[in-house]
Amino acid sequence: MPGKRKTHYDIDFTLRRVFGKRSFRPLQREVIIATLEGEDVFLQAATSFGKSLCYQLPSIVDFGITIVISPLLALMNNQVASLRKANIRVETINSTTTPLAKKHIMEDLKCGHPLTRLLYVTPEYCQLDHFRQTLRVIHSQRELARIAVDEAHCVSEWGHDFRPSFQQLSFFKTEFPDVPVICLTATATARVREDIINTLALDASKLKMFRMTTSRPNLHYEVRFKSDQDDHYPNFLDWLKAAHARRASNAERAFELASQNQRATNVPGIIYTLFRKDCESLAARLRNDGIGAKPYHAGLPHTERADTLEGWVDNKEGYDVIVATTAFGMGIDKVNVRFVVHWQIPKSFEGFYQEAGRAGRDGKASACILYYGREDRDRAASMMARDAQRQPTKGSNVATQQQQMLNRAQSLKALIEYCENTGGCRHKAIAKYFADEEVPPCDFACDWCKDARGLVERKREGLASEEWCSTQREQGRYDVDDYE
Is residue 483 pLDDT above 50, yes or no?
no
Domain final position from 167, 187, 211: 211
Is residue 471 pLDDT above 70, yes or no?
no
Residue 192 lies in a domain: yes
Identify the CA nearest to 92 among candidates 50, 132, 52, 122.
122
Alpha carbon of 111 to those of 22, 133, 134: distances in Å?
37, 12, 9
194 and 226 fall within a common domain: no
Domain final position from 191, 211, 231: 211
254 and 341 fall within a common domain: yes
Strand (E) or helix (H) holding 224: strand 219-225
Residue 54 lies in a domain: yes
pLDDT digits (tens, 9 = 90+) for 38-51: 999 999 988 778 89
- Banded pLDDT at 329 (limits 50, 70, 90): low
Is residue 6 pLDDT above 50, yes or no?
no
**What is the Cα 427 distance to its own chain's centre?**
19
Percent residues over pLDDT 90 in the chain? 52
- Banded pLDDT at 397 (limits 50, 70, 90): low
Separation between Cα atoms, residue 457 and residue 126, nearest integer Å: 53
Identify the CA nearest to 269 among candidates 293, 250, 253.
293
Percent residues over pLDDT 70 in the chain? 87
Residues 6+ apart with CB under 8 A from 355: 270, 272, 326, 329, 340, 342, 346
What pLDDT is attached to residue 56? 96
Separation between Cα atoms, residue 7 and residue 37, nearest integer Å: 6
Residue 5 lies in a domain: no
124 and 242 fall within a common domain: no
375 and 352 fall within a common domain: yes
232 and 200 fall within a common domain: no
196 and 241 fall within a common domain: no
185 and 250 fall within a common domain: no
What pLDDT is attached to residue 263? 47
What pLDDT is attached to residue 169? 92
Give me the number of domains the chain comprises. Answer: 2
- Banded pLDDT at 251 (limits 50, 70, 90): very low
Please give the mean pLDDT across all residues of the chain: 85
105 and 237 fall within a common domain: no
Lowest-confidence pick of 122-131, 217-226, 361-370, 436-445: 436-445
Is residue 253 pLDDT above 70, yes or no?
no
Handedness of CA 25, 26, 29, 32 (dihedral sign): negative
Identify the CA nearest to 136 among candidates 108, 166, 175, 104.
175
pLDDT digits (tens, 9 = 90+) for 271-281: 999 888 899 99
Q: What is the mean pLDDT of residues 356-367?
A: 91
Is residue 257 pLDDT above 60, yes or no?
no
180 and 321 fall within a common domain: no
Is residue 8 pLDDT above 60, yes or no?
no
Sheet with strand 219-225: strands edge to edge: 219-225, 366-372, 339-342, 269-272, 321-324, 293-296
- Banded pLDDT at 385 (limits 50, 70, 90): confident
What pLDDT is attached to residue 209? 94
- Banded pLDDT at 7 (limits 50, 70, 90): low
What pLDDT is attached to residue 406? 84
pLDDT digits (tens, 9 = 90+) for 56-110: 999 999 999 999 999 877 778 888 988 999 999 999 998 888 999 999 999 999 9
Residue 102 lies in a domain: yes
Residue 484 lies in a domain: no
What pLDDT is attached to residue 38? 93
Alpha carbon of 324 to those of 224, 237, 293, 401, 424: distances in Å?
19, 17, 10, 27, 30
Residue 1 lies in a domain: no
- Banded pLDDT at 435 (limits 50, 70, 90): confident
Q: Where are the alpha helices (DSSP H) in 89-200?
A: 99-110, 129-140, 170-175, 190-199
Find the domain containing 470 and state its range. Answer: 219-474
What pLDDT is attached to residue 458? 86
Residue 341 lies in a domain: yes
Burial degree of 356 (CB within 10 A; 0-12, 13-18, 19+)? buried
pLDDT digits (tens, 9 = 90+) for 213-239: 888 999 999 999 998 888 999 999 999
Separation between Cα atoms, residue 470 and residue 231, nearest integer Å: 19
pLDDT digits (tens, 9 = 90+) for 178-195: 999 999 998 888 888 999
Residue 303 lies in a domain: yes
- How does DSSP classify residue 162? -
Domain final position from 193, 211, 229: 211
What pLDDT is attached to residue 1? 47
pTM of the model: 0.80
Identify the CA nearest to 380 among candidates 334, 339, 336, 349.
349
Specify the CATH number for the domain of residue 104: 3.40.50.300
206 and 235 fall within a common domain: no
Separation between Cα atoms, residue 170 and residue 154, nearest integer Å: 14
Is residue 475 pLDDT above 80, yes or no?
no
What pLDDT is attached to residue 331? 53
- Highest-pLDDT range among 38-47, 140-149, 307-316, 327-336: 140-149
Separation between Cα atoms, residue 214 and residue 356, nearest integer Å: 12
252 and 295 fall within a common domain: yes
144 and 232 fall within a common domain: no
